[in-house]
Amino acid sequence: MSYFLPESAPVLTAARGLALAHPGIVEVNSAPLYLRARAADPGRRVALVSGGGSGHEPLHTGLLGRGGLDAVCPGEVFASPHNRQIYEASAAVAKSAGVLLIVKNYTGDVINFQIAAERLRHDGIPVATVLVDDDLATDSADSATGRRGTAATVVVEKLLGAAADRGASLQELQELGTRVVAQSRSVAVAARAQTSPTTTAPAFTLEPGVLDYGVGIHGERGIRTIARPSVDDLVRRMTDDLIDALPEGSDEVLALVNGLGATTELELHAVSSLLHDRLTERGLRPAVTIAGTYTAALDMAGFSLTLTRLDEGWVDLWTAPTETPLTLPRTVRPAGTSAAPAAAPAAQAPAPAATAGAAGGRVVLDRYAEVVAQVRDNLTKLDQLVGDGDFGDNLSGGVRRAVRLADETGIEGTAALAEAFLNDVGGTSGPLFGLFFKDLASAEPGDGQAPSVAALAEAAAAASAAINRVGGARVGDCTLVDALVPAAESLAAASAGEPTGELAEAPLTTAAQAAIRGALSTASLRPRRGRASYVGDHALGVPDPGALAVALVFTTLAEVHEPTWATRLPAPGHLTTI
């Protein structure tokens, strides 16, 4: 259960614990947080760097060392690492021929790893990326996000680690990793959700006698809820779905049975035996079968199956020796045998100084901090319905960082919010809200007065464009853009002198109303971006938490600069309750 995480810096504390357990293998850099291997194979020319949200251990950190990864960048629980972690870790371990980034396909991971890659290229460090997208449940033409990256990451990291120790080039490693991903598929099932560290309650509820089929490793709901079949029938169904999705090729496969955190070894080995039998019935030979917890979802009660169709030489890479905290089973089953084998937070660097803004900007910051504190739990509950439930904590933590930054350095208003979210908040929301606040900060007049409507219109439009460039989100994708664009358009109309109805004298309140309408409209949209896109129709009826947070920014601006007119706006607690 997720009841015993320290209240302060849980991820950093756990990283230090791992280093204490493996002092000859792992060392910890605390600001920004990353873990690095103490000794790499002397034949390695390319460094391997990976990472992602915490709560999936032993994924990533378990394969840190010789035969595995050179550095791992852990985010907060279920939240991506921020780009600074990835950039500094990669720069620290880069080899003569560069760095290969291994990235699971989640919006926050992809954005932050892409930004880090751009920074590395700017420094002249050769860099390439392998995107892991093995999840069968999210293989949908309707999603612009694509398949999630799940337990096949273990296979990718192990094979690439062995190849890197043999001196493979950056291009060779990228091509190998891309091929391994293409020949791997995974699917997961759960009988109980993981425990939320915030609420100590299950992130979602399943009735007795049913399973969620196609769940994600961040606690995302499955693509469908099914009546609980016999375990034999369940494994048969999952295996058949995976085989049907694999590309044509060799009849040799690697079969991985992965626990999601609360599934016992007894269950996992029983499943591996059933999986072996079904693969054999379908004419495939499981050359390697692995059962254990390798990619957890905190303490979710469930398991995933991964199949990788093997190419020539891949078994040798799998059986190559490692010096890592996690020892993967390396036994290869000869042809003709049938017995299944036995399985063996981050401290932050000081933010750079920035120009102090207006006194009015500090009022906006303090009021937004009050609003976010009021609605954090509401946003968490909404995010648990459509994603992983971390949005309320991420937003609240970022705003608290901004207030501290303003107190300590004199940075004011949206400038402090921009610094905090861009540099210190991970996940998808951190950098995207950072871009939003950075553009809004440019509208601050610096004289204690309200920002001009024209400046705000330009800033909101610029923020929308930047978010689209980085994440691809457009109106209708059920994201924060659905609130930001209507507000930008309302401000632009007011700036141009176009009629805006009865609130023509209150352009900020009008913009807030437009943002609220846009945010609430997301409840009727089927998400196409971000983690909410993975839960399909489960998201219908639930407004996007990020869009609501954007609407609350414009509500705050109206409350501070148009207090009389802003009384027409709904209370934050009411707005974030369904």
Which residues participate in catalysis according to the annotation? 218
Please say whether the beta carbons of 328 and 319 come within 8 A: no
Q: How far apart are CA 2 and CA 399, in angstroms?
A: 25
Q: How far apart are CA 433 and CA 249, in angstroms?
A: 44
Tokens coding 298: 């905190």
**Phi, psi at 426, each rounded to 5°:** -90, -160
Please say whether the beta carbons of 261 and 268 come within 8 A: no
Enumerate the β-bridge partners of residue 290.
256
Cβ neighbours around 282 below 10 Å, total: 14
Please say whether the beta carbons of 192 and 202 come within 8 A: yes
Please say whether the beta carbons of 297 and 56 come within 8 A: yes
First to last CA, the chain: 29
Q: How far apart are CA 53 and CA 163, in angstroms?
A: 26
- Residue at token pair 């709560």: 55
Q: How far apart are CA 439 and CA 421, in angstroms?
A: 13
Question: Which three-class secondary structure state does DSSP give residue 285?
Answer: strand
**Phi, psi at 219, each rounded to 5°:** 85, 15
Which of 442, 414, 432 is closest to 547 using CA atoms? Answer: 432
Which of 508, 498, 481 is closest to 568 using CA atoms? Answer: 508
Q: How far apart are CA 260 and CA 204, in angstroms?
A: 15
Q: How far apart are CA 363 and CA 340, in angstroms?
A: 65
DSSP code of residue 102: E
Q: How far apart are CA 224 and CA 535, in angstroms?
A: 9
Q: How far apart are CA 287 and CA 285, in angstroms?
A: 6
Enumerate the β-bridge partners of residue 190.
212, 302
**Phi, psi at 33, each rounded to 5°:** -75, 125
